[in-house]
């Protein structure tokens, strides 16, 4: 099956053309064309994503990205109209995300759907993150369900039971900031560029290598780590970092430390606290769910974090019957490939996808538990 996928939920404009066949548990995924334009540099001065700017950029980027994707796939543009006959579905992110940005992708997808007479499949962005782990599986691997998914991105921190393809239950979520957002905000406090996750991670690794003794003096709280539920909270941790920075900025403060070392130690202490909570809540979920869970999926931008993946490997060794799956590095952050994969799952499991359905509505807060 050939799927053209479009992703515009946040600050990445992405288009991919995929050929996907085989079983849902281990599909054969061939990337025929894949393009992505990041707006990170544009949003950097705002310290986050500015929705109307994102919308304008998506509108500008989509037509050339489509053309480039089709060209990469070997579609001769002069006969592109004919070749599009072998595209089965157009997949587009419906939500969650920034609504003005989502609308851009949806409008574009529906316009193509009409022009090419193809069905348009609305995709839940978080379902895309989950099924990003289906890419690049070896011959012998299978995604065995039920799985527990820890979704960690700039907008979400969720623990989701993937009972079956298309059947999801959220059992834990953040009550305030998402973990990626906390990384980004702490990075901003430290004067590091946006997005802050990779920057914090780099400095934290340097601090770990140096085994700085001073780092021990930095210990941030691990909010809700002992709470009697599977929810998260990261805003208190962010505030604790802010207080620490204010305190250390007093003249008598950090005479014996270089600015760089100070940032490294704060990054490490913050990362230890944030990842510590993610690991502890995931452990608790796995224990509570008993033997039901066969696979632990960890996906979303923060799953690129080295310290998280190391701690996850340790956690997985406590549960020998559970298989740990993370996406290939370049599928951790937003991309169109994962949207195409989720559409393949939807086509294989959900109700029949028809042409000319009711128009798709962007839903900024679309929940994964409402996926069809």
The residues of the shown chain that bind ligand KG4, judged by CB under 6 A, are 10, 153-155, 180-181, 183-184, 195-198, 201, 300-302, 304-305, 333-334
Q: Choose from Zn ion, ligand KG4, none: what does 304 bind? Cβ within 5-8 Å by kind.
A: ligand KG4
CB of 129 vs Zn ion, minimal distance in Å: 6
By CB under 5 A, residue 153 contacts Zn ion:
yes
Give the Cα separation of 10 and 22 in Å (integer).
31
The region of 138-146, 152-160, 164-172, 206-214 touching Zn ion under the rule CB under 5 A is: 152-160
Alpha carbons 271 and 257: distance in angstroms, whole number: 20
For position 271 contacting Zn ion by CB under 5 A, the verdict is no
Among ligand KG4, Zn ion, none, the one that 272 touches (CB under a kind-dependent 5 to 8 A) is none
The rounded distance, in Å, linking the Cα atoms of 137 and 134 is: 6
Are the beta carbons of 233 and 220 closer than 8 angstroms? no
The values of phi and psi at residue 329, to 5°, are -45, -45
State the binding partner of 184 from Zn ion, ligand KG4, none, CB within 5 to 8 A by kind. ligand KG4
Q: Which is nearer to ligand KG4, 84 or 132 (CB)?
A: 132
Residue 98's contacts (CB-CB under 8 Å, 6 or more residues apart) are 9, 10, 49, 51, 54, 55, 364
Q: Which one of ligand KG4, Zn ion, none is in contact with 195 (Cβ closer than 5 to 8 A by kind)?
A: ligand KG4
Query: What share of residues in the chain are helix, strand, coil (percent, to 5)?
Result: 50, 20, 30
Contact status: 107 vs Zn ion (CB under 5 A): no
Structure tokens at 248: 């250390």
Region for residue 188 given its phi and psi (left: phi exceeds 0; alpha: psi -120 to 50; beta: otherwise): alpha
> Smaller CB distance to Zn ion: residue 104 or 153?
153
* Residue 197 contacts which entry, Zn ion, ligand KG4, none (Cβ below 5-8 A, type-dependent): ligand KG4
CB 203, min distance to ligand KG4, A: 11
Q: Which of 327, 305, 303, 324 is nearest to 314 (CA)?
A: 324
Q: Is the dihedral of CA 201, 178, 142, 139 positive or negative?
A: negative
Find which of Zn ion, ligand KG4, none residue 13 binds, CB within 5 to 8 Å per kind.
none
Cβ closest to ligand KG4, residue 84 vs residue 305: 305
Nearer to ligand KG4, 84 or 201 (CB): 201
CA atoms within 13 A on the CB side of 150: 29
Using CA atoms, how far apart are residues 26 and 135, in angstroms rounded to an integer? 8
Is 295 or 305 the residue whose CB approaches ligand KG4 more closely? 305
Cβ nearer to ligand KG4, comparing 214 with 309? 309
Least separation, in Å, of the C-beta of 304 and Zn ion?
12
Instruction: State the nearest-atom distance from the C-beta of 12 to ligand KG4, in Å.
Output: 7
CA-based Rg of the chain, rounded to a whole angstrom? 21
Residue whose CB is less far from ligand KG4, 118 or 156: 156
Yes or no: say if 70 and 80 are a contact pair by the CB < 8 Å rule: yes
Q: How far is the CB of 165 from ligand KG4 (least distance, A)?
A: 21
The span of 222-230, 257-265, 309-317, 331-339 binding Zn ion (CB under 5 A) equals 331-339
Burial 126-138, CB ≥16 within 10 A → b, else e: bbbbbbbbbbebe
177 lines the binding site for Zn ion (CB under 5 A): no
Three-class secondary structure of residue 175 per DSSP:
coil
Of Zn ion, ligand KG4, none, which one sits near residue 93, judging by CB under 5 to 8 A according to partner kind? none
Pick the binder of Zn ion from 187, 237, 334, 366 (CB under 5 A).
334
Give CA separation, 150 vs 11, 104, 126, 229, 230, in Å.
22, 28, 11, 15, 11
Nearer to ligand KG4, 125 or 284 (CB): 125
- Closest distance between ligand KG4 and the C-beta of residue 95, in Å? 11
**Contact set with Zn ion (CB under 5 A):** 153, 334
């Amino acid at each position: 099956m050939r799927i053209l996928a479009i992703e515009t939920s946040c600050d990445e404009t992405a288009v991919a053309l995929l050929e996907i066949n085989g079983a849902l548990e281990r599909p054969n995924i061939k990337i025929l064309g894949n393009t992505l334009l990041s707006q990170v540099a544009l949003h950097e001065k705002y310290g986050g994503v500015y929705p109307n700017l994102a919308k304008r950029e998506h509108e500008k980027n989509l037509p050339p990205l489509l053309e480039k994707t089709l060209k990469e796939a070997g579609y001769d543009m002069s006969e592109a109209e004919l070749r599009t006959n072998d595209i089965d579905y157009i997949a587009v992110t419906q939500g969650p995300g920034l609504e003005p940005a989502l609308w851009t992708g949806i409008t574009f997808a529906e316009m193509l759907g009409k022009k090419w007479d193809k069905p348009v499949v609305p995709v839940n962005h978080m379902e895309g993150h989950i099924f990003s782990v289906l890419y690049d599986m070896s011959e012998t691997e299978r995604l065995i369900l039920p799985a527990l998914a820890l979704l960690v991105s700039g907008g979400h921190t969720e623990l989701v039971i993937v009972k079956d393809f298309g059947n999801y239950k959220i059992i834990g979520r953040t009550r305030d900031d998402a973990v990626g957002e906390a990384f980004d905000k702490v990075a901003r406090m430290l004067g590091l560029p946006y997005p802050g996750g990779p920057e914090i991670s780099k400095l934290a690794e340097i601090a770990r290598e140096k085994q700085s003794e001073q780092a021990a003096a930095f210990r941030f709280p691990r909010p809700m780590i002992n709470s009697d539920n599977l929810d998260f909270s990261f805003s208190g941790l962010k505030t604790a970092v802010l207080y620490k920075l204010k305190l250390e900025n007093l003249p008598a403060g950090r005479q014996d430390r270089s600015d760089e070392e100070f940032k490294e130690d704060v990054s490490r202490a913050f990362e230890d606290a944030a990842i510590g909570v993610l690991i502890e809540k995931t452990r608790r979920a796995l224990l509570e769910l008993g033997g039901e869970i066969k696979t632990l999926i960890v996906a979303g931008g923060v799953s690129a974090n080295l310290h998280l993946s190391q701690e996850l490997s340790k956690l997985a060794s406590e549960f020998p019957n559970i298989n740990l799956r993370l996406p290939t590095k370049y599928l951790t952050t937003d991309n169109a490939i994962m949207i195409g994969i989720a559409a393949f799952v939807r086509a294989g499991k959900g109700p029949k996808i028809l042409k000319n359905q009711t128009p798709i509505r962007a839903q900024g807060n679309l929940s994964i538990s409402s996926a069809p």
